[in-house]
Amino acid sequence: MQKQYRQGDVWIEEVNEIPSEVSAIKREKGFVILAHGEVTGHFHGIKNRVAKFYQHETGDRFLDLSKPCDLTHQEHSTITLPPGKYRVVQQREYTPEAIRSVRD
């Protein structure tokens, strides 16, 4: 069974492989940022240099960790993710106008 993790509006699911057709997502201020808080300015981030973050042309995002890494957020408890490959999804919500990302 694949492991799953959640921190606020970010869901992280273990995957067997990361697709070959991905592009690296650049770090911001030394962090891999999984999601930005649109309202508060907070973010879900990993400082550890071994963390690699990628995006597929479909928009799917993937995280590759060769060692345990702490996922931090200014308003949520820290989660330690074990080494592995993960798909990262930001929770979405329905409104009558459109489906949109949840605002943290």
According to the model, what pLDDT value does residue 102 have? Answer: 47
> Residue 26's domain spans which residues?
4-101
pTM score: 0.83
pLDDT at res. 10: 92
pLDDT reported for residue 54: 98
| Closest by Cα among 60, 102, 59, 57 to 85 | 60
What radius of gyration do the chain's Cα atoms show? 13
Q: What is the pLDDT of residues 49-103, one digit of tens each?
A: 999 999 999 999 999 999 999 999 988 889 999 999 999 998 765 556 654 454 5
Q: How many domains does the chain have?
A: 1
